[in-house]
Every structure is written in C-alpha cells, then in structure tokens.
Structure 1
Amino acid sequence: MVASEQIEVELKFDVEAGIETPDLRVLPGVVGARQPETFLLDATYYDTENLDLAGNKITMRRRTGGHDSGWHLKRPTGIAGARRELQVSFDESADDSTPPAALTDPVRVLIRSRPLIPVAVISTQRTVTTLLGAGDEPVAELAADLVTARSLLPGGHSQEWAEWEFELLGDSGNSRLLKDASRALARAGGREPSSASKLARAIGATPAVSSAVPELGKNPTALDLVLTDLATHRNALVAWDPQVRVDTYDAVHQMRVSSRRLRSVLTGFKGVLDDEKTTHLDGELRLLARILGDARDSEVQIDIDISLLEGEDVSDALREALIGQEKAGHDRALRVAHAAMNSNRYFALLDDIDELIADPPTGPAADDTAEMAADRSIHRSRKRIRREQATLATLPEGSDEWLEQLHVVRKKAKRLRYRVDAVSPLGKKHHQRAGKVAKVIQTALGDVNDALINRQRIAELVAQAQSGALRLEPRDLFVLGRVDTRQAEAMQRAIATYGSVIKDL
C-alpha cells in the first residue's frame, strides 16, 4: 500500500456566511490566480470511543470529492500552523470502509487494540482559488468553505458554519506570504477560529491530552518528581513507537532507552509508589527492553562491522559472513519486535502506564521532598557500583569472570546515569558530577564489551575458515588478524579509562 506524506501549512479563519473573499493577487510574490473551482467534499471522521486521536490533536478521515479523495491522517508537527498529512487513495486501500494500515500503524500506539468507529460526518462546499507565483507556479490556495457537520457521539448534534483556509503549496515555505495573507484575510472579515479543526468544532470538548507532562513545582514532593519522570519517558516511548514500525535508524535504540528509563524510575525511588502494585510493570518493561534489545544489538553490530572493514581489501565472502548475516539477523529481530508491538500484552502495558500516571498508587515516601528521594536514590546507586567494584577486585584480571563482572559494573553505571537524569530538574551539582563519572564508566566499559564481542566473532570466523566451513582468502585472514590486534588495543585503552575514574564514585 502506497501512502504519500506532506507538510500542510495553513491559516484558518471563522467568517460570516456569504462574505466575499478578498482578492489576494495583490499580495507580494503573487502574480495571478486561476479561476475559482467549487467542490462538494463528504468526510467521515474516525476515532476510538475514548477519542484517543482527537485528544492528541490527530484526525483520521475518509473523504470523497475534490482532487484528493481517499483516506487522510493529520498529525501535529510542533510548528504553529503546520501539520503532517498522510494520504492513501481509494485505489491503494483494500477496504473503502476500514481505515488502511498505512494510516493506523503510525497511531497504533495511541489507539492500541481499541476499534476505530465513525465519530462525525462533515460535508463541505468548498470554493478554491489557486494563487500563482513566478512562472505560473502554484504557491497557495484560498478555500472558502460552507460546512455542515454532525457529531455521531452520544448526545451529538448538527451545526453549520463558514470558514476560510489559506494553505501554502509545494515547497515554497513562504512565511512572508503567510503573514501577508493573514493580515489581508483578517481585514476582510476573518476571525480567530473557534476550533483547531472542523472535527474539533463538530464534536466539541475532547479528553485531556494524555501526553501532557505535569509541571514540577517550586517545592516538589518525591511523588511529583516520579510522576514527571514517568510521563516524560512514557511520551518518549509513544513518540518512538511509530518510528520503530518503519525501521527509522536509531528508533529501536531510543524506544529501548525509554523503556529502561521507565524501569529505572519505577525501581529507583523506593517507597514513593506502592511496590506491590508496580512490580508487574517492571517485569513487562524488562521484557519489552529485551525484545527491542535484540534488534538494537544487531543494528549496532552492523555499524561496528562496517567500520572494522572500512578501507580494508577483503573478499565478498568475508563481508557477507561479517555484515550480511548480521543484517539478516536484524531483520528477524525487527519482525519479532513488530509482532510484540502489535500484541494485546504490549497495549495492556501502555494502558497500565497511563493509569499509573493518572492515578498513582502511593507508597510511604510519596510525600517526602523530591530532594530527599533524589539523595537516597543516587546514594544507593553509587553504593551498588562500589560493591560491584569490590567484587571485581577479587577476580583475576582478564579472566572470563572478571570480564563478566565488568559488564555488571557497566549496567550499574547506566542505572546511575538514568537516575541522575531523572533528578536533573532539581539542579544538584553533586548529582551531576556523579552522572558525568557514570557516563565515562558506561562508555568505557561499553567499548570493552564491544571489543570483546568483536574478538570473539573474529575467532569464530578464523575457526570456520580453518575447518573449511567458510571459504576465505589469505588476505581475509591477514585482515582479521590486524583487526583483532586493534580491538585488543582498544580494550586496554577503555579499561585504563575506566580505572582512572572509578575512584571518583
């Protein structure tokens, strides 16, 4: 199914019915206009029973008439007056009465397993005037709309109104034209719109936007701090979900980090929330992070493999063994992640997180000050790193057990980083210093782990070549030896970096 996407930049005005549109050919940069065209547009808008799309300023519709009949999904961009519009023509959709997957996938994280139902029908008599710039290139459209809308929600009603819409066309991005048009339309009788969209006006009030992050006040409690962090990372997870579904680079990593940060908040502030009522969330987030981790690890390894062979003269057989197989593994891991992200279990996790933020089960430390909770959390995390470091000191350096313990220290340092980030709004410098040290430790030990994995894979390839299971050329073995030496040196540098800062914790 082919979907097209564009950024829609437009102005909207309420007007009295029958008022004449101004002649915008006088605007700078406009040299002419086409004859006005009139269309009858009939649209049915879809949402969940809870209005999950409308609550996030998103509209999904099936519309006939005009030049763009089909299915449309409009989403905010974060830029005033601009929206992302995704379109699927009726020729590309399998069922004219069911929203196509190309539109539902980007918002699946919001609608989850809830069915989409018609919530409004809107008919628009639209008269469009296309404005032309140099070379008769279309630069904007002015639409004069007479709207008849009927809400299909319980207690809904019908209404009529008139409005103007002024939309930039193509890649003009002409902010000057937008400003000039705004002034001209306001002088001609255009008023500030009463609603952001036709649907919003048709159905009236919508639920509070679920992605709102609570403000951390002047004297926040421990519960305020935890809820703010949970909402922040919930929003990040929801934002990255659609990107993972289309395999945007680094999206798996960012979504995985969001799930881990949610876990860190849940487990890092003991007593703020009721542990018994949140334990299941920790387990579900752990599972999500592990599933995403398989795709993320292969994504990272592909980049590493490409860098290892950069500038080297090797055979296609070695490139396929080192990189091609990893790409195949990444594709498999991504399919598993997508399946998990379309499961009722995943949707239940998202619902539970939303419910936790909206109605948190508090623990005995909920009313402590945020600073007290932060100090306890950071202190415990630093103490655990020191304890793991003490265990490391008892093991033979370079042994398998020693290397495994380095990985344990790295995971503890990562948790400290997350907790320092969680309390960063409090602005405590001693926490920030601990976070900087933890970042150096995590990075250095991450380099150790990457080099160790690379050396193990090199050894496996050499063993396969010696056994005849893999056909490599002599030059390949020479390159693998050189790469292994570089990785051994990188390990030693990273271990030295770790040793130079661990005492600062």
Structure 2
Amino acid sequence: MSPSHSIEVELKFDVDAGLPAPDLTGLVEGSTVGEPATYLLEATYFDTADTLLAKNRMTLRRRTGGTDAGWHLKRPSSVPGGRKETAVDFRDAADATAETEVPAELRSQVLTVIRSAELVPVATITTDRTVTTVLDADGVSLAEFCEDVVSAESLLPGGGVNRWAEWEFELTGGDAKLLKRAKSVLREAGARDASSVSKLARAIGTQPLDDLVRALPKKASALGLVQYDLAAHRDALHAWDPLARENAYDAVHQMRVAARKIRSILTSYPGVIAPEMAAPVADELRLLGEVLGDVRDREVRLEANELLLAREDAPADLVKALIDDERVAHQQALKSLRYGLSTARYLTLLDDLDRLINAPIPGPLAHRPARDIVSDAVGGAYLRMTKAEKKLRKYSAWSPEWVEQLHTIRKRAKALRYTAESAAPLNRKALDRAGTEAKRVQTHLGVFNDTVVNRAHLAEVAANPGLSSDAVFVLGRMDAHEESRGRRAVKKYRRSR
C-alpha cells in the first residue's frame, strides 16, 4: 500500500491537569457523543540535530498505540488552520526495518528541508489519551475530542523531561461552524490557547523560522528586491517539491513555474548579484526546468488527447498509442523526476540558492534604487517582445518561420510577465499593466504552441505503418480539431494586440 494523505484541522489548548471536560452533547443540532475510549500512545520524534523540520513547521514521528500506529509526517497545508498528514503503516514501511529507519516515502517528502542532514531521534513523547467522538443525528463522526496527559523527554543536548495536560478537538467530518462552537465551549470550561504549536515544539523548545524578509521597505535597493522575490519563489519551489514527487494535481507545473521565475529574476537583473554566483544557479535551474518540463509536456498532451478522443469512436490501437503508451511514458518521466530530485546535484542547487538569498555577492547595480532597476528591466523586456512581434511581419502567415517566430514572441512575453511580476511589491501600476499585457500574449500563444507540439506528435503516430486505417482516419480528424484550436488562439492573440 502507498502512504495515505489527509488534512488535519484541529484546535489545541493548554489545560490544568485534572480539569473536567465539558459536555459536548448538542454542539450542533441533534449531535451526541460516543463512549470515551482510552489509549496509551508512545512516539519517537525525528529531526535533524539542528531541528530543521521543527523550524519549518514539520513533525515526523514513529508512534505505537491508538488506532493509527505507524509513521506520520505533518507539514503546513494551504487549508486555513490545517496541516497535511502523510501516514505510512508499519507493514508498508518495507525499508524501515529498524525503529530508527525513516521510511523512504517520508524521507523524500522532507529532502528540500533536511538536504544531506541525518534524521535522528530528538524526543520521546508518551500520551495518556481519552477520546470522545462527537456524532451527528445519524451517528456519523463529526469530530474527536482528546484529553491528553503528556510526558515528553527531549533527546537533544541539555534537554529535559516535561509534563503537561492539553485538549485537542479535531474535525473528522464537521465544518468551521462546529470548530467555532467547540472553541467557545472549551474556553468556557477553562481551556487556554496552546503555548506551543505542537507537542514536539513544547518538548524541545523549537520555534518556527522567521521569514528572511517580512516586508519590503518603501525605498528598497535592487538587491533587497531581488532577495525578496527569490525567497518567495524559493519557498514555492520547496512547497511544490514533495507534491510533485507524489504527482499531485498541477504540482509539477507549479514547481516548474517557480524554478522559471527564480531563473527569470537572475537573468532579468544581471548586475544586481555577481555573475559568478548567479550564473551557475541559473544554469542548474534551466536543467531542473527541463526535467520538470518532460513530465509537464506529457501531462498537457495526455489531457488534450483525452479530450479529443472523447469526441471520437476511436479504435483500440489508437487509444493505446495516444493514451496507454503515453501514460507509461509519463510514469517513466515521473520516475526520472523523482530520481533527479533525490540527487546530490539537486540538493546542492538548493544549498546554492539559499546562499544566493542569504549571503549574495553584490553586483555593480546592487545598491541602486529598486524602482529604477525594475523600470529598466521591464522596459527592456517589453522592447524585446515588441521587436519580436515586428519581426513576425517579415514572414508569410502560417509558414514554418512564422510559426517559429510566434514561439519566440511567446517566450519573450513570458519573460516580460515574470519580470513585471517581480516588481509587484513596489506597487507600480504601469508595470502591472505591462505584466497583464504579457500574460494575455503568453496565454494565447501558449495554447497555439501546445497545438503545434501535439500536431507534430499526432503526425508521428500516424506514420506508424502498423496503425489501422480507422486509426489514421481518426487521427486526421483530431489534427483538424487541433489546427482549428490553434487558429482560434492566434486570432485571439491578434485581437489582443
């Protein structure tokens, strides 16, 4: 079995030991509570020696007892108040033969944080837990209320033993209204806001890392703006990395965008950070983009051809060629991506990117006002896009050279968009308008480029001598649909210009 994923949304409170729990019957209309169940939970928490996981709001543990014994990784989630939990049952952790051997499925999820550091036990926590389930009128679980008596021992140098009591209220099927009502009831009963974000943080005293840049000053330097933007996209790269490994929806695409935006900043502001520091990182990001691009391009092609085939009565050999074989190739590309994201080369790139943000070597333009340097960068990018558009007039419409020039315009528009977006913290409307204009161009020509690439693929499939005549006929219809889609996209582009 593969790891299971869930979003944990809960309230956490400190309480005095022995504080009686309130009656939770009637939290919502018709709700009742089940009979309390008691468990002894014993967990060992793992982190690096300098607690990088805890500082990045992540917890990794091996726990026995209760209803979900196994390995658990919790990390921030996009759901307000929620955390994403990935669980691996002991039976599924084939490589975790020892109690201190973290399963590969979870180790890969934290590589962007720990890099080459070793994961070691940092705390043991024993919890006497009493669980009461809140049920709706039909007996379906809405939430679980946990009364915990906790004993924790830090295994870090100078660590000690700590004991406390706390309450947790976790949604299992209820909504935000139930959470709000429970918060009020539990506070009235004597609960206090939790003094720490997790049991582990309380045990070892680790606090989350502060952001490198909380807010950009009004009179920021060019280097300050570049650091600010790089940090934001670096964080996005880190956030999408584990999701891309598990092939979550749109994750590869978003990770590729983050890598491209970092590279765009380094190339759009060449005099801000010394080239001997910026250029190697930009080169490595280009290679990362190619690996991500192989997976993403296959995703796009699969999606397009699934939609096209849905209109047709396609023979089995065509479905195999366009869908089944492509899915196999997509899985192979994903396998290559996962390997690439686990290499020392990728981890070195992350280290170099951190150094670029935290301790850059200033270039000759580093101390110029950000507003000036951004105006030059956006203006230059806009000029390059419009020059490419003027060059388009030299070619006959729909000729190979004309199509290739549209591809160049799309790339220039993308560069302009990313450069203009990097200036967003400065709140300059003229630059925002340039970015919006570039986005329209990129969107329309991006659709056209997708059809060009897919039509070439359809032609390759059609050239297969073993393909049935019915398949070739359907391929012709599909090509016509793609051609029409491409022409509509170009028409939209022309109208927008």
TM-score clears 0.5: yes
Question: Quick one: distance in 2 between partners of 1:24 and 1:310?
Answer: 51
Q: In the alignment, what sits opposite 1:428?
A: 428
Matched, 1:117 2:117: no
Taking only the aligned residue pairs, the percentage that are identical comes to 46
Given the superposition, is the C-alpha separation of residues 42 and 463 from structure 1 closer, same or farther in structure 2, using an over 3 Å criterion?
closer
Per-residue deviation, 1:315: 1.8
Q: Which residue of 1 aligns with 2:206?
A: 205
Q: Structure 1 unaligned runs (5+)?
A: none
Q: Which residue of 1 aligns with 2:299?
A: 299
Per the alignment, residue 186 of structure 1 pairs with: 187
Q: Structure 1 pair 181/379, CA: closer, same or farther in 2 (3 Å)?
A: closer
SS at match of 2:91: coil
Q: 2:159 aligns with which of 145, 156, 160?
A: 156
Structure 2 distance, partners of 1:309, 1:31, is 49
In the TM superposition, residue 7 of structure 1 has moved relative to its aligned partner by 3.1
Q: Post-superposition shift, 1:415?
A: 0.6
For the structure 1 residues 37 and 404, does the alpha-carbon distance in structure 2 shift closer, same or farther, using more than 3 Å as the test? closer
Q: What is the aligned partner in structure 2 of residue 40 from structure 1?
A: 40
Contact 1:213 1:232 in 2 (8 A): no
The residue that corresponds to 2:147 in the other structure is 144
Letter in 1 for 2:222: A
Moved over 6 A (4+): none
Q: Would you say the 8 A contact 1:461–1:470 is kept in 2?
A: no
Q: CA deviation at 1:428?
A: 2.7
Distance 1:319 1:159 in 2: 62
Partner Cα separation in structure 2 for residue 318 and residue 390 of structure 1: 41
Map 1:423-462 → 2, pairs under 5 A: 423-462=423-462
Question: Residues 29 and 177 of structure 1 are in contact (CA less than 8 Å); yes or no, is this contact kept in structure 2?
Answer: no
Contact preservation (8 Å) 1:265, 1:419: yes
Q: Is the deviation greater in 134-143 or in 144-153?
A: 134-143
Q: How many residues align?
A: 494
Corresponding residue SS for 2:127: strand
Within a 5 Å distance, the mapping from 1:245-284 to structure 2 comes to 245-284=245-284
The separation in 1 between residues aligned to 2:359 and 2:79, in whole angstroms, is 31
Residues 122, 488 of structure 1: CA spacing in aligned structure 2 closer, same or farther, 3 A cutoff?
Answer: closer
Following the alignment from structure 2 to structure 1, what is the Cα–Cα distance between the partners of residues 78 and 33? 31
- Equivalent of residue 126 in structure 1, options 125, 129, 132: 129
Q: Give the distance between the partners of 2:33 and 2:86, measured in 1 at CA.
A: 27
Alpha-carbon shift at residue 346 of structure 1 (Å): 0.9
Residue identity matched to 1:128: V
2:76 equivalent in structure 1: 76
**CA 1:191–1:433 in 2, change beyond 3 Å: closer, same or farther?**
closer
Distance in 2 (alpha carbons) for counterparts of 1:488 and 1:80: 43
Question: Which secondary structure state, in structure 1, belongs to the residue aligned with residue 90 of structure 2?
Answer: coil
Query: Where does residue 470 of structure 1 map in the other structure?
Result: 466
Residue in structure 2 matched with residue 10 of structure 1 by the alignment: 10
Tell me, in whole angstroms, the C-alpha distance in 2 between the residues paired with 1:26 and 1:479: 61
| Distance in 2, Cα, partners of 1:483 & 1:31 | 55
Match of 1:410 in 2: 410
Q: State the match for 2:90 in structure 1.
A: 90
Q: Is the 8 A contact 1:214 1:227 kept in 2?
A: no
Once residues 2 and 109 of structure 1 are traced to their aligned partners in structure 2, the CA distance between those partners, rounded to angstroms, is: 21
Per the normalisation by structure 2, the TM-score is: 0.90
2:355 maps to 355
Confirm or deny: 8 A CA contact 2:108 2:342 kept in the other structure.
no
Q: Within 1, Cα distance between the matches of 2:232 and 2:49?
A: 25
Helix, strand or coil at the partner of 1:66? coil
Q: Which runs of 5+ in 2 are unaligned?
A: none
Q: CA deviation at 1:46?
A: 0.6
Over alpha carbons, which structure has the higher Rg?
1
Deviation at 1:67, TM superposition (A): 2.7
Corresponding residue of 2:380: 380
RMSD (CA atoms)? 2.7
Partner residue, 2:234: 234
Deviation at 1:494, TM superposition (A): 4.3
Decide whether the 8 Å contact of 2:141 with 2:173 is kept in 1.
Answer: no
The verdict on how the C-alpha distance between 1:31 and 1:495 changes in structure 2, with shifts beyond 3 A counting, is closer
Using the TM superposition, name which of 94-103 and 249-258 deviates more.
94-103
Aligned to 1:172: 174
One-letter amino acid matched to 1:281: V
CA distance in 1, matches of 2:272, 2:24: 60
Which residue type is aligned with residue 255 of structure 1? M
| Secondary structure at the counterpart of residue 151 of structure 2 | strand
Give the aligned partner of residue 196 of structure 2.
Answer: 195
Closer, same or farther in 2 for the Cα pair 1:463/1:372, shift >3 Å? same
Are 1:338 and 2:341 matched, yes or no? Answer: no
Shift of 1:129: 3.7
SS at match of 1:244: helix
* CA distance in structure 1 between the aligned counterparts of 2:423 and 2:437, rounded to whole angstroms: 16
Deviations 1:50-90 (A, max 9, x none): 32211121111112223332222222334554333332232
- CA contact under 8 A between 2:277 and 2:356: conserved in structure 1? no
Structure 1 residue 392: Cα displacement: 4.4
Shift of residue 163, structure 1, vs aligned partner: 2.0
Q: 1:317 to 1:213 in 2, by over 3 A?
A: farther
